[in-house]
Each structure stands twice: as C-alpha cells, then as structure tokens.
C-alpha cells in the first residue's frame, strides 16, 4: 500500500533525520513536519547527531555570512577609493593640520614653548604625518626624534617593535632607541594584545615651538573659514 506523506515522514523521523533532511525527500514544508512529528520519539544518539548537525549548520552559515560581509566591505572600499583623486601639496598641508589638531600636543598658557609632538599607533597615519613635516613644513630628518610607548609585558619584543616602526617610517632602527614602558593593568579592555601590537609612536621635532604656534594659527584659520567661530 502506498504510504501517505505523513507516514513516510514519521518513518524518516524515527530513523533520526532532521526536518530539513525529510523535506528534501518529501515535498512538505518544515512547519508542517514540525506539527506532524513533534511527538515522534527519537533516540539519544539520534538527538546528539541532530544537535551536532545544527551546530555545524550554524557554523557554516556564519562563515557564509562572514564571507558575504567581507565581499560587501571590499566593494564599498573599492568604490570609495575612487572618490579620492590626486592629493595636491595643499591637500596634504590641510590633512596634516587636521592630523595635528586631533593627535598633536598644543601650547598651553601655563606651559609655553611647546614643540611639535604627534602620537599615534597607526603606522600609516604616522607615515603621512612625517611626509607632511618634510614637504609642507620643510623639517629636516635630523630634527625628528622618535619615542615608542608600549606596555611593559612586551619588553621581550622590543627589537621586533623597533624594526616594525623603522620599516613603517623608513627611518633607521637606531632612531628608535627611546622606549617608554607603560604598566599593565590586571584587567584590560584592549583588543590589540597579540603579536600585532607595536605600541604607539611619538614623533617629536626639536626646536619647533614657533612651528607649533603656526599650526595653531592654521587651525584657527580653518575654523574661521568654516564659519564655526
């Protein structure tokens, strides 16, 4: 006798098949299968198999979504890159001012004579800032001093860290001999705690208080011409 879809579904479920596996053999929606088979008992071993299958399915689904997200991000970036055309010397000048405004040391009334100090952990930002010093501010390399600030638990990686910043900036390793260690907290929310962590680089310019004041004036000029003051 020809079995009904429900009878076939019960037999397959008793064999330990999942609703998805059953629906591939019987043209019935999983919601219907659920109402039909909710009381059908399956063994502990079958339950374990279905549980592992759900975990694997969730993992594979997550990996697919991850790859889709990566492709979307790459596409967005690729289109966005095309929005940036040639960077003129004036563009670089304005960019450097903005960098310093965000990450540079400013002169205070109670602390006059502040020279140029720029700190950041992003090697690309540091490299652009150095290019700005050279091209726009005409600062010679012999006036540039580097300091590395890094957590004390990375003392055993100092040579690698110095080599990292040397390669990132194009300056010799010998320029990165000023190392300052920060004490570690017992607990931290920092995520950059693996071998990719290279601390932050502080770029200082000798005898540059005059230039620092000039940068402060440029910042005020930007505010004035943007109509925010």
Q: Total structural domains in the chain? A: 2
Q: Which of the listed residues 56, 78, 100 is the one where a domain comes to its end? A: 78
Q: Which of the listed residues 78, 99, 121 is the one where a domain comes to its end? A: 78
C-alpha closest to that of 144 among 182, 124, 171, 109: 171
Whether residue 84 lies inside any domain: the answer is no
Whether residue 58 lies inside any domain: the answer is yes
Whether residue 22 lies inside any domain: the answer is yes
Cβ partners under 8 Å of residue 120, min gap 6:
103, 126, 129, 200, 201
Give the chain's length: 229
Provide the residue-wise pLDDT of the chain in tens; the chain has 229 residues.
Answer: 356 899 999 999 999 899 889 999 999 898 999 999 999 999 999 999 999 998 998 999 999 999 999 999 999 999 999 999 899 999 999 999 999 999 999 998 887 899 999 999 999 999 999 999 999 999 999 999 999 999 999 999 999 999 999 999 999 999 999 999 988 765 555 555 566 899 999 999 999 999 999 999 999 999 999 999 8
Q: Which of the listed residues 78, 104, 128 is the one where a domain comes to its end? A: 78
Domain of residue 24: give its range.
5-78
Please indicate, yes or no, whether residues 73 and 94 belong to a single structural domain of this protein. no
């Amino acid at each position: 006798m020809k079995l009904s879809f429900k009878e076939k579904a019960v037999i397959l479920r008793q064999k330990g098949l999942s609703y998805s596996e059953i629906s591939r053999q019987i043209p019935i929606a999983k919601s219907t299968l659920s109402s039909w088979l909710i009381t059908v008992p399956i063994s502990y071993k079958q339950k374990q198999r279905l549980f592992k299958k759900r975990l694997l399915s969730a993992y594979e689904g997550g990996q697919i979504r991850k790859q889709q997200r990566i492709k979307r991000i790459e596409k967005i970036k690729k289109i966005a890159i095309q929005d940036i055309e040639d960077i003129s010397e004036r563009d670089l000048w304005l960019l450097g001012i903005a960098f310093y405004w965000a990450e540079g040391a400013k002169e205070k009334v109670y602390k006059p004579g502040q020279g140029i100090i720029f700190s950041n952990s992003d090697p690309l930002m540091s490299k652009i800032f150095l290019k700005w010093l050279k091209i726009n501010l005409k600062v010679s390399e012999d006036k540039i001093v580097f300091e590395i600030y890094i957590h004390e638990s990375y003392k055993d990686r100092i040579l690698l860290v110095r080599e990292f910043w040397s390669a990132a900036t194009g300056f010799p390793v010998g320029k990165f001999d000023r190392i300052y260690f920060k004490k570690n907290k017992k607990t931290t929310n920092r995520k950059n705690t693996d071998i990719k962590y290279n601390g932050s680089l502080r770029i200082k310019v000798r005898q540059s208080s005059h230039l620092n004041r000039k940068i402060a004036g440029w910042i005020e000029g930007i505010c004035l011409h943007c109509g925010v003051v």
